[in-house]
Structure 1
């Protein structure tokens, strides 16, 4: 059985993430989705809580043809210890899938195979680009699965984002 670990912040979970996961579902038998920076929320780069991101992802992946596990991963203040921390928090895995240069380096140094899946429409489908649209009241809904739109509405996410982006 092949079990992969896909690590990202998912702030928010968008159509690019969904496309990557759909592709990974063709390569692995089970997928662990590690929500990075799970301990950070309510700031400009991390507006959503880990629990909110779990909701976004699990709802958006309803119907995925392989089993998946969504696991929040807190940051560790010492990068050299982060891989051991991740391994203690998730089921065993064979390969890590990420495009984050630091995550790639840390897992490679630990001797764990790392693959960078192709990114889907990266210019328009980055968390930064989607958040920017959300902060500025621009249309963002087309860039995320409909389930994410629903979660953001439930949690009043746009209002939160606009409030925390104000300066005093």
Structure 2
């Protein structure tokens, strides 16, 4: 039995979509923790250009990149947007507490990529496993924009995500989002 530094490592993000830097983070988390808890942000049911995939779809996309053994070590909590840091931190802590035990050693895994990563400092009671920039600091925003243009930039995605994205392109929801993106893009000219 492997002795892990943590019982649970929490990985907070929107994962819209799940790319290679996310995959590397989870692989590192699985080396240091018995379980990885994905705190899936923006988990409300409305889709938009920034959040095209529902939380359950993101779960499917993420899990498709891992072995059955690793899948058994991954949990998810769904964090809706509350637009208030104090309420959001409380919500994340409550959700994590609902899938852990009182004496578990909980840590937070992440990487300070820019000012949007400030939330990593909002959980001082969780030990931080800070990572250096992974895979050339991949950002999901340009990957989503390319996706709406019909491109899947496969060099930035693990195989399970590529397959998920390809299948999602055959969906009416994708066509509606793509049309919305094109309309928005035209209005910015």
Query: TM class, shorter-chain normalised?
Result: 0.7 to 0.9
Contact kept, 8 Å, 1:134 with 1:161, in 2: the verdict is no
Aligned 1:85-104 pairs, distance under 5 A: 85-90=91-96, 91-92=99-100, 94-99=106-111, 100-104=116-120
Larger CA deviation: 133-142 vs 73-82: 133-142
Could you say what the CA RMSD is over the residues aligned between the two structures, in angstroms? Answer: 2.3
Quickly say closer, same or farther: Cα 1:41–1:145, change in 2 above 3 A: farther
Deviation of the 1:41 alpha carbon: 4.5
Deviation of the 1:7 alpha carbon: 0.8
User: 2:43 and 2:20 mapped to 1: Cα distance?
Assistant: 20
Determine which structure has greater relative contact order: mean sequence separation of CA pairs < 8 Å that are 6+ residues apart, divided by chain length. 1
List gaps (5 residues or longer) in structure 1: none
Aligned residues: 165
List gaps (5 residues or longer) in structure 2: 1-5, 185-189
Q: Deviations over 1:144-168 (max 9, x none)?
A: 2222222223333653431221327
The answer as to 2:105 corresponding to 1:116 is no
User: 1:122 and 1:74 mapped to 2: Cα distance?
Assistant: 29
Aligned 1:12-161 pairs, distance under 5 A: 12-39=17-44, 41-63=46-68, 65=70, 67-90=73-96, 91-92=99-100, 94-99=106-111, 100-108=116-124, 111-123=125-137, 125-155=138-168, 156=171, 158-161=174-177
The higher radius of gyration belongs to 2
